[in-house]
């Protein structure tokens, strides 16, 4: 989608600059353009929305249809800060926004909301068309291949007194060559939507953390969220070679997980996840990822209890396991009596001792609560999203950085996290919208 390039060199001075062409930045640009501001959007990549497009390859999960209370609860420790923002724009508002672009949506069986075509590309095309050809206001000016290296506040003096501006330093690459140049751009108002630290090849590399810290903005380290985890096998090392070669890539469906959060509360979720060469990953694992990561930080190990048959009680499972099996093998017996086979049976053989496999009660307990010992997260760059980021204490309610007047932050670069299911995209766009509306209000307050 190289058509987002403006084809013009970036100006030296602009009034409103948005840096970052992901969902948060695009939403901010849309809001500000709609208010009549001439918006210049800068992005390090050759085209915008790259992570957005890849995330939507298997079906773009736009938002979730659950109740407001349930929705907000998904944001954990970030809920208190995000609640006022998501109360203004979340589930049905996100659907209305998509419909306004001509993109019909539907609610899946899990309550997740998807575009009717399931893909991200048609929505992004419609969105960019609106930004380039708005019904009201100025077209957004796109400046691609502009990587922000840092910024600083400038105090300028004129007849009306002092005014604050922000000088941004960009590394730029020309379309026709790999020649790298450094360029200075001064803006009166800046909205940063630089993304988190996952999927660096798509633009969100977290390189902004040190220079934003040097500018006086407090930033918590970026950590993997919605990520895979390493698992210790029965011998404490990891999967055996036999299990890994036979079952890596296989999905565990219709299972449930039980784990404890930092407050000691027992949590239960049902769904599916995937066995990998190193351990486990997938949507059900992502639901627990924040709690698992925190447990690893403090204890060096975390645990999950896996219920392989959540629709059956322990008593039912004991009865079926204890049923006489004659000359049949255990695998044949469990497949016949309980439908356990494939990767589920493989996990039992991998993690349960031979003695426990021969005890109906112990085997039933393992089927209903198989202990998975989690030893480490996968690297940040493999994660779907990241935790950490700009601390809420370093911003005011408008998402303006206290140390950098006139500079706002939005999207995944803020310190919040959420599981997959539409929550990530919704909050990124909602914070972009909130910061843009706040910026506009301050501009209007500046003007006579």
Taking a C-beta distance cutoff of 8 angstroms, is the pair 162, 116 a contact? Answer: no
- Which residues contact residue 14 at a Cβ distance below 8 angstroms, ignoring those fewer than 6 apart? 38, 40, 185, 186, 187, 188
Out of 233-242, 287-296, 345-354, which region has the weakest mean confidence (pLDDT)?
233-242
The whole-number pLDDT of residue 448 equals 39
Residues of the chain above pLDDT 70, percent? 95
CB atoms within 10 A of CB 352: 20
What ranges do the domains of the chain cover?
A: 2-224+386-446, 229-377
pTM of the model as a whole = 0.90
Nearest 5°: the CA angle 89, 92, 93 is 40
The whole-number pLDDT of residue 3 equals 42
Rg (CA), the chain: 25
Backbone phi and psi for residue 11, each to the nearest 5 degrees, phi listed first = -70, 165
Residues of the chain above pLDDT 90, percent? 81
* CATH T-level fold of 2-224+386-446: FAD/NAD(P)-binding domain (3.50.50)
Residue 54's pLDDT band (boundaries 50, 70, 90)? confident
Encode pLDDT of 141-151 as tens digits: 999 999 999 99
Out of 36-40, 175-179, 344-348, which region has the weakest mean confidence (pLDDT)?
175-179
Which has the closest alpha carbon to 325: 313, 315, 338, 312?
338
Nearest 5°: the CA angle 289, 123, 71 is 35
Beta bridge partners of 217: none
Residue 2's pLDDT band (boundaries 50, 70, 90)? very low
């Amino acid at each position: 989608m190289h058509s987002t390039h403006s084809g013009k060199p970036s100006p030296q001075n602009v009034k409103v600059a948005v840096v970052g062409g992901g969902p948060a930045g695009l939403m901010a640009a849309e809001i500000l353009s709609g208010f009549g501001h001439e918006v210049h959007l800068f992005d390090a990549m050759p085209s915008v929305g790259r992570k957005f497009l890849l995330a939507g390859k298997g079906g773009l999960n736009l938002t979730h249809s659950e109740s407001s209370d349930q929705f907000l609860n998904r944001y954990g420790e970030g809920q208190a800060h995000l609640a006022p923002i998501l109360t203004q724009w979340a589930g049905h508002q996100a659907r209305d926004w998509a419909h306004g672009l001509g993109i019909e949506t539907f609610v899946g069986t899990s309550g997740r909301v998807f575009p009717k075509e399931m893909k991200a590309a048609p929505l992004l095309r419609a969105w960019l068309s609106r930004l380039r050809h708005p019904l009201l206001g100025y077209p957004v000016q796109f400046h691609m291949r502009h990587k922000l290296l840092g910024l600083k506040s400038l105090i300028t003096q004129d007849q009306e007194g002092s005014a604050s501006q922000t000088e941004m330093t960009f590394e730029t690459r020309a379309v026709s060559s790999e020649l790298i140049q450094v360029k200075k751009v001064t803006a009166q108002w800046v909205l940063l939507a630089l993304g988190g630290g996952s999927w660096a090849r798509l633009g969100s590399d977290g390189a902004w953390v040190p220079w934003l810290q040097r500018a006086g903005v407090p930033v918590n380290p970026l950590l993997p969220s919605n990520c895979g985890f390493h698992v210790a096998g029965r011998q404490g090392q990891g999967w055996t070679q036999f299990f890994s070669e036979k079952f890596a890539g296989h999905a565990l469906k219709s299972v449930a997980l039980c784990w404890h959060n930092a407050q000691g509360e027992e949590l239960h979720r049902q769904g599916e996840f995937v066995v990998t060469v190193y351990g486990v990953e997938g949507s059900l694992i992502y639901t627990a990822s924040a709690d698992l990561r925190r447990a690893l930080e403090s204890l060096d190990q975390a645990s999950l209890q896996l219920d392989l048959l959540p629709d059956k009680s322990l008593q039912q499972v004991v009865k079926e396991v204890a049923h006489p099996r004659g000359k049949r093998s255990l695998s044949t017996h469990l497949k016949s009596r309980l439908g356990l086979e494939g990767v589920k049976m493989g996990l039992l053989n991998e993690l349960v001792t031979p003695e426990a496999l021969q005890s109906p009660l112990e085997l039933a307990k393992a089927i209903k609560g198989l202990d998975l010992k989690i030893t480490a997260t996968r690297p940040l760059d493999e994660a779907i999203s990241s935790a950490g980021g700009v601390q809420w204490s370093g911003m005011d309610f408008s998402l303006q950085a206290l140390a950098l007047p006139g500079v706002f932050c939005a999207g995944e670069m803020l310190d919040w996290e959420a599981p997959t299911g539409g929550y990530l995209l919704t909050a990124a766009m909602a914070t972009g919208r909130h910061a843009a509306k706040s910026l506009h209000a301050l501009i209007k307050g500046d003007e006579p």
